Amino acid sequence: MIKNFLKSTPLIMLVFSAVVLTAPIWLDPIGASYPDLLQKFAIFGIFAVGYNLLFGLTGYLSFGHATFLGVGSYTAVWSFKLLSMNIIPAMILAIIVSGIFALIIGFFSLRRSGIYFSILTLAFAQMAYSLAYSVLTPITNGETGLQLAQQDPRILDSLAGVVVKDGLPSPNIFGLAIPRELSFNLFGLDVNIGAGYLGFYVAAIMLIIVFYISLKIFRSAFGLKLLAIKSNQTRMKYTGFNTRPYLLTAFVISGMYAGLAGGLLASIDPLAGAERMQWTASGEVVLMTILGGAGTLIGPLLGATIIKYLENIFSALNPTELHSIFSFMPEGLQNIMVTIVAPFVGEGWHLTLGLLFMIIVIFLPGGVMEGLRHLGNLVKRLFGFNKTESSIESISSVSNTSPEGEAK
């Protein structure tokens, strides 16, 4: 009874929404409560949750998902330029266009599986990236990146009589400019959203919506079929299923998630560049998913948050700051520590990222979620709670991470 209640969709969604929406409060103690970073958490969370729908459920390792992120960004900026500065049409268009891209790329790539699939997606991604830099410059504005201009047409805005007088217009949601402060009265409570937080809340609401969709997919017959493809595609085929339409659907949905993430990135900072489509960016989303735990519901979100948080901390450090961190040590030891740590921070953040990647793949293929599960089991054994289950398990139990069940 209680077990079922803990696993019920409304409860999970309620807890999830509460946790996400109060993130600015509870992330404050670890210094992560400013809009820029919060937005990144939410946006890359969406990206990773979407990627997980493909990789986590079907085991197909795509190395080209950043393409859809880039396509989403470009579409959103074009929507700002041509249609309106409102982010709603921009995001809808970003989702649609990246969905179309995913359909085309997925249609071809999914003819193969395993490593060939990875290489095909990589090839398509590299093609898109090179084209964005070269021939498609009229659309993508090459190395400079696509930017807004004051004299853009903005058809819908000009029909509505919005005139931009000086400077660049900023993206808005029905007139509320994203970077703006906002105060309103909600049921007698004075709500004050500081500058920049509106962007986070837009992203957070999107995250809640897509998380709900992802939860539904995990618990649907469709999700089970995807899992079946992961554990044994051949057997699945023998039972009479044509697996390709399911795979393609999963691919397109995850492409749309990436497009949405790209659109949101552009909404917060209306600029799109081809470097978002580079294959290292695709590698990053793979890492996020794996770090958190591929195939689990909230794992990828955790992974995205951890990576963006670490990136934020590590890449900002420099030797001077390291000295102040280790200042409690005696002088000599302090210098030694700084020398050891310095290559891993600041510019060397990617080194830490690479090491993290390797450590996770080697020692914890199930990611943080698997680690938590082990920890939970340990606690249970130590204290003898054999009957009750922790809430973490209730969420992760829908997952199925069998190491042997890779697609061939």
Partner 1 sequence: MDAILIQILNGLDKGGAYALIALGLTLTFGTLGIVNFAHGALFMLGSFCAVLFNKLLTLSVKVKDESITFFDAYKDQPYLETWFGETGTAIIDYSVPLSILFAIPVMLLIGIIMERGLIKHFYKRAHADQILVTFGLAIVMQEIVRHFFGANPIPMPPPDIVSGSAPIGAFLGINENLVYPWWRLIYLCFSLVIIFIVFAFLKYTTFGMVVRAGMADRETVELLGINVQRRFTIVFGIATVVAGLAGVMYAPILPPDYHMGMDFLVLSFVVVVVGGMGSLPGAVFAGFLLGILQSFASMNEIKSIFPGIDQIIIYLVAVIILLVRPRGLMGREGVFED
Measure the CA–CA gap between 331 and 10, rounded to whole angstroms. Answer: 56
| Residue 111 sits in the site that holds partner 1 (CB under 8 A) | yes
For residues 47 to 66, the per-residue mask of contacts with partner 1, x marking binding by CB under 8 A and - elsewhere, is ------------x-x-----
Among 135, 139, 159, 333, binds partner 1 (CB under 8 A): 135
Q: Which is nearer to partner 1, 282 or 396 (CB)?
A: 282
Q: What amino acid is encoded at 282 in this protein?
A: S
Q: Which is nearer to partner 1, 280 or 377 (CB)?
A: 280
Contact by Cβ (8 Å): 400, 295: yes
Nearest to 301 by CA among 207, 215, 385: 207
User: What value does the CA radius of gyration of the chain take, rounded to a whole number of Å?
Assistant: 22
Among 126, 147, 315, 334, binds partner 1 (CB under 8 A): 126
- Measured CA to CA in angstroms, residue 153 lies from 67, 169, 187, 188, 342 at distances of 27, 12, 40, 41, 49
Which residues in 337-366 contact partner 1 (CB under 8 A)?
Answer: 343, 347-348, 350-351, 353-358, 361-362, 365
Nearest to 73 by CA among 91, 89, 58, 55: 91
Among 54, 71, 122, 148, binds partner 1 (CB under 8 A): 122
- Measured CA to CA in angstroms, residue 22 lies from 33, 36, 405 at distances of 10, 16, 38
- Measured CA to CA in angstroms, residue 56 lies from 161, 244, 258, 308 at distances of 47, 17, 15, 20
| Residue 139 sits in the site that holds partner 1 (CB under 8 A) | no
Among 120, 229, 250, 297, binds partner 1 (CB under 8 A): 120
Task: Tell me phi and psi for residue 94, to 5 degrees.
Answer: -60, -45
Shortest reach from residue 357's CB to partner 1, in Å: 3
Number of residues that bind partner 1 (CB under 8 A): 47
Q: Which is nearer to partner 1, 175 or 365 (CB)?
A: 365
Query: Which positions touch partner 1 (CB under 8 A)?
Result: 59, 61, 108, 111-116, 118-120, 122-124, 126-127, 130-131, 133-136, 279-280, 283, 286-287, 290, 343, 347-348, 350-351, 353-358, 361-362, 365, 403-404, 406, 408
